[in-house]
Amino acid sequence: MIIAAGSLLRLETCRIFVRFDAVNCGLTGEIPSEIGKLKNLDTLFLQDNGISGEITPELGELQSLKSLDLSNNALASEIPVGFSKLKNLTMLNLLRNKLTEVIPEFIGDLPELEVLQLWENNFTGSIPKNLGRIII
């Protein structure tokens, strides 16, 4: 769960959110799986916090999502395969985390993705060739 200023953020009561912007708000802990219930969310900005753990696969349920910024946190996992369902995503910023494994090929198959920022992580392997059309 994300802790904001000592109190638990209850996402289950926030289903009508379209934009969630919590930049540099002192959030810590993991991204809760309940975030996948915010079906109308098109913008999620959680950069510059102390969010740690894995990127919750439930983010892949946010099929209205256009902009996702989780940069400058302490996320340590691979990019969830559920992100392959984010067909409306235009911007994905995951820079300055501790992400591992390879950069998945499905990222290059996201039809609307224009901006991708992944540097300063711990990825291995080569960059998928299908990323050539995206601004990196």
Cα dihedral 100/56/115/74 (nearest 10)? -50
Judge whether residue 5 has pLDDT over 50: no
| CA angle (79 as vertex; 102, 83 as ends), nearest 5 | 125
Asked if 3 and 26 touch (Cβ cutoff 8 Å), the reply is: no
- 3, 50, 106, 129 from 133: Cα distances, Å: 38, 32, 13, 9
What does the pLDDT average to over 122-133?
90
In 106-124, which positions are buried (b, 16+ CB within 10 angstroms) versus exposed (e)?
A: bbbebeebeebebeebebe
For the segment 53-112, what is each residue's pLDDT rounded down to a tens digit? 999 999 999 999 999 999 999 999 999 999 999 999 999 999 999 999 999 999 999 999
* Tokens read off for 10: 């209850």
pTM for this one?
0.88
Spell out the domains of the chain, with CATH numbers in brackets. Answer: 2-133 (3.80.10.10)
Amino acid present at 56: T
For the segment 32-59, what is each residue's pLDDT rounded down to a tens digit? 999 999 999 999 999 999 999 999 999 9
* Tokens read off for 31: 């991204």
Q: How far apart are CA 75 and CA 56, in angstroms?
A: 10
